[in-house]
């Protein structure tokens, strides 16, 4: 009976934990697997030349190096394994952090891009010319994809293919919406594209302002989560510098303590980040 009650309790705790995570929507299911999401993350981080496989190899290599170095310094394989896991996570965390910072910056710039497109269309420019104009008159951080679009269009003249390449270079939900609005205008015609872009620009400005205020207020939650997650492992690193302390973790009990501590750290960190995270847009129109 003890085993049955233990399994029941474990299943209950697992279901409670599982209820904290959102089930993927139909749009998220279409957004692709790990490789597609990682490719978008790398593009958003400005490392589009790096492939998802290269990032995975880098993570494995960083973890291996950390394992060897930590095992040599501390003389404890369980402690070295803990720091190897952290080191393996570091490249991914760096890319994600850079992508988040660039996304926050880009969010403030998209209204200017949309205004540039709308003014060009109202001035009588064709859609390819209006998009190419962003490469010279748009915000500096977003000019390169539009410059490359202009070069592609001059070389091939295939508007749809160039739009697809532009979407891939931007890897941004707002960019997807703008591109699809222009594609639909090109295909079916219409005179309201300027008004649609003007409304989109106003919406993007309001959204960026609200998100900025919320993120500023919730920044303490994120910082507290990172500090709380890092503090025990910094203390472990200081204690492991002395050989006698490190040897205590070479036993089965010591390895169990590290494993339980690692699981608790990950769960607590994810819960705190979940509490302070805003829902991000997904690329439904990829």
Higher pLDDT, 14 or 151: 151
Given a cut of 70, is residue 36 above it in pLDDT?
yes
**Cβ contacts of residue 226 below 8 Å, gap of 6+?**
269
Tens-digit pLDDT profile for residues 231-255: 888 888 888 877 677 787 888 888 8
Could you tell me if 272 and 228 are in contact, meaning their C-beta atoms sit under 8 angstroms apart? yes
What pLDDT is stored for residue 25 in this prediction?
A: 46
- Find the range with the poorest average confidence among 22-26, 70-74, 166-170, 180-184: 22-26
CA dist 137 and 175 (Å) reads: 17
Query: How crowded is residue 249: how many other Cβ atoms within 10 Å of its Cβ?
Result: 23
Q: Read off the tokens for 279.
A: 């829902």
Is residue 171 left, alpha or beta, with left meaning phi > 0 and alpha meaning psi from -120 to 50? left
Given a cut of 50, is residue 31 above it in pLDDT?
no
Given a cut of 70, is residue 284 above it in pLDDT?
no
CA dist 62 and 266 (Å) reads: 19
Tens-digit pLDDT profile for residues 122-175: 888 888 888 888 888 888 888 888 999 999 998 888 888 888 888 888 888 878
Q: What is the DSSP letter of 33?
A: -
What pLDDT is stored for residue 62 in this prediction?
A: 92
Q: Read off the tokens for 64.
A: 């291996």
Please say whether the dihedral angle defined by the alpha carbons of residues 206, 211, 214 and 217, taken in this order, is positive or negative: negative
What pLDDT is stored for residue 64 in this prediction?
A: 92
Given a cut of 60, is residue 73 above it in pLDDT?
yes
Share of the chain above pLDDT 70, in %: 83
What pLDDT is stored for residue 26 in this prediction?
A: 43
CA dist 209 and 39 (Å) reads: 28
What pLDDT is stored for residue 78 in this prediction?
A: 87
Tens-digit pLDDT profile for residues 219-235: 777 777 788 888 888 88
Could you tell me if 22 and 51 are in contact, meaning their C-beta atoms sit under 8 angstroms apart? no
CA dist 93 and 99 (Å) reads: 10
**Rg over CA atoms, the chain:** 24
């Amino acid at each position: 009976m003890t085993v049955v009650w233990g399994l029941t309790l474990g299943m209950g705790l697992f279901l409670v934990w599982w209820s904290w995570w959102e089930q993927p929507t139909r749009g998220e299911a279409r957004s692709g697997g790990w490789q597609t999401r990682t490719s978008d993350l790398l593009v958003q981080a400005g490392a589009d030349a790096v492939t998802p496989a290269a990032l995975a190899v880098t993570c494995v290599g960083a973890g291996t190096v950390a394992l060897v170095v930590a095992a040599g310094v501390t003389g404890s394989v369980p402690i070295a394994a803990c720091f190897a896991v952290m080191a393996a996570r570091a490249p991914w965390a760096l890319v994600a952090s850079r992508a988040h910072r660039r996304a926050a910056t880009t969010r403030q710039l998209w209204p200017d891009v949309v205004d540039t497109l709308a003014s060009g269309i109202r001035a009588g420019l064709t859609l390819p010319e209006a998009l190419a104009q962003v490469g010279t008159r748009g915000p500096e951080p977003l000019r390169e994809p539009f410059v490359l679009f202009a070069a592609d269009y001059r070389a091939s003249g295939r508007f749809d293919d160039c739009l697809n390449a532009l979407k891939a270079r931007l890897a941004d939900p707002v960019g997807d919406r703008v591109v699809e609005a222009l594609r639909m205008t090109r295909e079916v015609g219409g005179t309201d594209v300027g008004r649609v872009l003007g409304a989109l620009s106003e919406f993007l400005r309001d959204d960026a302002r609200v998100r900025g205020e919320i993120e500023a207020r919730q920044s303490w939650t994120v910082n507290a989560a990172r500090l709380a997650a890092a503090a025990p492992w910094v203390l472990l690193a200081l204690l492991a510098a002395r050989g006698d302390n490190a040897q205590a973790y070479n036993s089965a009990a010591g390895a169990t303590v590290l494993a339980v501590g690692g699981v608790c750290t990950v769960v607590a960190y994810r819960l705190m980040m979940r509490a302070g995270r805003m829902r991000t847009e997904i690329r439904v129109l990829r």
